Structures are given as C-alpha cells and as structure tokens.
Amino acid sequence: MVRAGRSYWLALLAASALVAPQTASAQSAREQALEERLARLEAEMTALRADLVSARDAQAQTAAAATEATARSEEAVTRLATLESKPTAPAEGFRVGSTTFKLGGFVKAVASATRYDDGMLAGGSLGKEFYLPQQIPVGGTSTRDFMANARQTRLFFTSSTPVGGKDVKSHIEFDFALATAPAGAQRATNAYTPTLRRAFLTFDRFLIGQEWTTFQNPALLPESTDFVGPLEGTVFVRQMMVQYRQPLGQGLDLYLALENPQTETVNTTNAALADNDQDRVPDLVGKLVYKAAGLDLHLAGLVRQLSVHDGGNGDDALGWGVSAGGRFAFGPDKRHDIRLSATYGNGIGRYLGLGYAPDALYDRGALGNRLVNVGNFAGFASLKLGWTANVRSTFAAGYQHADYPDRITVPGLANVSAYSLAANLFWSPVKNLDIGIEVRHAGREVANGLKGQMDRVEMAAKYTF
C-alpha cells in the first residue's frame, strides 16, 4: 500500500512536470496576442483622436469662413447701398455735379471743281465753297474754279440738368462756313472765324433760343457733299424763337412759335437785299408733325408783318406762307427713301434759299412809301437708294420762282428763278466715316432775262464723333 501510494504521487509529480511548460507556453501566447490587440486598439484610438482633432479644426475653419463670408456680404450690401445713393455715371459724356455734358460734331473736308458758263465769282465769295444759287454768274464768259477747304467742320456741346423732376437742357453749336473769308486767308494759314449756328435751352415742352425755324423740317434735307444741297428749293433759316410743343398722341405733335422778324427788300433799281431791321411784331409759326416707322410728315404755316420805317415814313404789310413735306423710307432695312418739300407764300423770300428773293419791293420815290410783296414758290425732291449697307446714292432736284408784281419796275439783276440737279455716291467704310462724290448742274435767271449755269464736281470726307 505504501509502495503503491508512493508510486501514485511520483506519477502525479511527473505529469505536473510535463504539463507546466505547456501551460506557461499557452499563457505566453495569449499575452502576446492580447498585447498585439491592445497595440492595435491604441493605434486605432490614436487615429480616431487625430481624425477628431482634424474634424474639429475643419469645423472651426468652416465657421470662420462662414463668418468671413457673412461679413463680406454685409460689406457688399453696404457698398451697393452707397453706390445706389450716388448718381450713376452717364452712358455718354461726363458729369459735373448733377449736370451731364456731351461733346460732338464732325470734321468735314471738301474739294470742288466748278465751271461757270456765264461769268466769274469774286475772291472770297461763299458760292465758291458751297452751292449758293444767287451767286451763279450771269452775263459773262465761261470760267473755271477749284476750291478746297475744311470750313464746314462743326462742333457742339449739350448739357442736361434735372430740376423738379424734369430736365433743363441746352445746345450750343458752331462751324466756320458762313463767315466771310478774311482777306488772304488762303495765302498761308486758312484761319476762319467760328460762327454761331444754334444756341437754345429746352425745359418740359418749351424751347427758347436760336434754332431752325419752326417753318422748316431740316430732317428732310437730302444727303449731299454740299453744305445744304438743293438750297433754292428749301426753307432755310435759323433764328431766335420761343417755341411750344404739344403732343396730340399717336405720333402727332403740334408746334407753335414766336420767331425773330426781319424784313428784306429791294428797291426798283438795286437788286441788293436791304436788311431793314425795323420790325415790330414777331413772326408767328404753327406746324403739325407726324412721325411713324419710316415716315416723317409736316405741314407748317407762317404769318408775319413786313415793316419798313425810315424818318417817319414807311409801311407795314402782311406776309404769309405754307409749307408741306415728307420722308418715306422703304426697301430692305428701310435703306431707300423719297423726300419731298413744297413751299408757297407771299412776302416770305428770306425764308427760302438763304434769301434768294426779297420779301417785298420798297422805294420811297417810285412806290410812294409802299411795301409791295413778292410771291414765291420753292420745292425739292430726292430719291435715296441704299445699294448695300454702306454704299448709297441720292438723286435730288430743287426749284424756286419769285413772282414780282406786274406794272412795277424791278431791278434787272433781281433773282427770278433757280434750279439744280444733283447725283452722288457715298461710301461708309467704317462707322461714322463718310466719303462721297457728287455732280451738280444748276442755273439762275434774273429779271432782265440774263441766265447763268454752273457745273460742279465735288468730293467730301466727313468723320462724325
């Protein structure tokens, strides 16, 4: 029994000795695995912490950006409100205070070669520089003339100022064309004096100042290389006036005006016009204007008192006139148009063709201090053809006839009739630049039966700005 017990305990000790290393080995592997797992967990925790810190930083940056964007938006709103509270700059021109100014005009160079069939013009004559029918020579021999100048160059400036919900506007314009050329001007420097063309202000429906007479519609004048074109056939006056415009609706306007009077007379022996400057009543003009797409019509009436008073002697007479005209555009892009104008009256000579004929005859000795009116008819017609978008031609004709009273002596060189025919070709290679060539034939007849003719070839280049 004793031996058997000892054997049991010896076997048990031997088994324990064999199992112990295996247990220790197993425990060591678990610990290693646990340590590796723990290391992985710690690494993941570190990564999570880093991601959390990064997320917090990004959130902080987003908040800062949002705050900055809000600030910028508020600043933009403030700046916009500030800008809206100030007057905006004009699309054209420049502003001084609340007044907008604009400058404009054109540079025009003209060269012409002329043949006069019946005489020669004196040096410095305006008829050398543009078509002036009363300066076509009569009763002489054929002469030729060449002239080049830039006197038709034009400048203007305008202003506009808001006052009481409306605009007060002004327009001032001048060129160099109508002043008498200084003696020797062409010798070296070709210096010419600026001459006032238009100077007026407008407010609401009123116009006050020097402007085209209300009796005229300058928009009807055909395109020409010349200063005017068919001058003998058109109303052509700029003068001081007070004008009122009343819209009647649907493109129809009524104009009423009081305009500066001036009576022009000749006596029974001298055809030179006399500027009497003794008028007492303004000329009264009324006009209806209708405008629509491609259409411009007008009908005007004029009533005036002719007046001459000299040393307690003199006379007054009633003058009147009617004028009608229109422009009719047609064809592709309305490139073609027809323009017509006709004027008839009694005692209205100075209104037509720069005073081709007098308003009346006045001669204290021969007529007994009596004003005798001269009747007049004038008209023109033109056809414009737009060959392409930048090439066009105009064909124009003008005519005027003065009707002197019967059984009254008239000076032999008093103008009786004039006519002109013209054709031109214009090319606009770029915007606002026009280059043209024109041929014109014209004639003049005076009271004693003498006639004169003129033929002219003219070239012009004009840049409008």
Q: How confident is the model over 206-240, as pLDDT tens digits?
A: 999 999 999 999 999 999 999 999 999 999 999 99
pLDDT confidence bin for 62, thresholds 50/70/90: low
Res. 315: pLDDT tops 90 = yes
User: 264 and 325 share a domain?
Assistant: yes
Instruction: Please state the rounded mean pLDDT for residues 434-460.
Output: 98
Res. 46: pLDDT tops 80 = no
91 assigned to some structural domain = no
Q: Which of 36, 54, 86 is the last residue of a domain?
A: 86
* 407-410 contacts, C-beta under 8 A, 24 or more apart: 408/268, 408/361, 408/367, 408/372, 409/268, 409/269, 409/366, 410/268, 410/361, 410/447
pLDDT confidence bin for 247, thresholds 50/70/90: very high
3-state class percentages of the chain: helix first, strand second, coil last, to nearest 5: 25, 45, 30
Res. 199: pLDDT tops 80 = yes
User: 331 and 439 share a domain?
Assistant: yes
* H or E stretch at 21: helix 2-85
Question: What's the pLDDT at 85?
Answer: 52
92 assigned to some structural domain = no
Q: Are 454 and 133 in contact (CB under 8 A)?
A: no
**Which residue would you say has higher pLDDT here, 308 or 80?**
308
User: 80 and 102 share a domain?
Assistant: no
pLDDT digits (tens, 9 = 90+) for 320-344: 999 999 999 999 999 999 999 999 9
Range of the domain at 333: 98-464
Res. 86: pLDDT tops 70 = no
Please give the single-letter amino acid code of residue 325. G
Q: CATH number of the domain that 108 lies in?
A: 2.40.160.10
Question: What's the pLDDT at 88?
Answer: 62
pLDDT digits (tens, 9 = 90+) for 19-36: 444 444 445 677 777 777
Question: What's the pLDDT at 375?
Answer: 97
User: 64 and 181 share a domain?
Assistant: no
80 assigned to some structural domain = yes
User: 102 and 80 share a domain?
Assistant: no
Res. 45: pLDDT tops 70 = yes
Q: What is the pTM of this model?
A: 0.79
Question: Taking phi first (over 0 means left), then psi (-120 to 50 degrees means alpha), and beta for anything else, what does residue 320 get?
Answer: beta
Question: What's the pLDDT at 326?
Answer: 98
Q: Which of 86, 113, 141 is the last residue of a domain?
A: 86
User: 32 and 104 share a domain?
Assistant: no
User: 190 and 75 share a domain?
Assistant: no
Tell me which DSSP letter residue 75 carries: H
User: 322 and 245 share a domain?
Assistant: yes
**Which residue would you say has higher pLDDT here, 184 or 259?**
259
**Which residue would you say has higher pLDDT here, 131 or 59?**
131
Res. 15: pLDDT tops 50 = no
Question: What's the pLDDT at 6?
Answer: 52
User: 12 and 160 share a domain?
Assistant: no
Residues 7-20: b if buried by 16+ CB within 10 A, e if exposed: eeeeeeeeeeeeee
CA angle 387, 392, 396 (to 5 degrees): 120
Please give the single-letter amino acid code of residue 76. A
Res. 91: pLDDT tops 90 = no
Provide the number of structural domains found in the chain: 2
Question: What's the pLDDT at 66?
Answer: 59
The tokens describing 175, both together, are: 């060129």
Beta-bridge partner residues of 368: none
User: 57 and 198 share a domain?
Assistant: no
93 assigned to some structural domain = no
Q: Which of 61, 86, 111 is the last residue of a domain?
A: 86
Instruction: Please state the rounded mean pLDDT for residues 194-215.
Output: 97
31 assigned to some structural domain = yes
Question: What's the pLDDT at 69?
Answer: 60
**Which residue would you say has higher pLDDT here, 309 or 158?**
158
Share of the chain above pLDDT 90, in %: 73
Please give the single-letter amino acid code of residue 401. H
User: 54 and 161 share a domain?
Assistant: no
Res. 449: pLDDT tops 60 = yes
User: 245 and 110 share a domain?
Assistant: yes
Res. 298: pLDDT tops 70 = yes
Residues 6+ apart with CB under 8 A from 464: 104, 105, 106, 432, 433, 434
pLDDT confidence bin for 65, thresholds 50/70/90: low
- How many CB atoms are closer than 10 A to CB 388? 10
In whole numbers, what is the pLDDT of the chain averaged over residues? 89
- Cα separation, 248 vs 213, in Å, equals 21
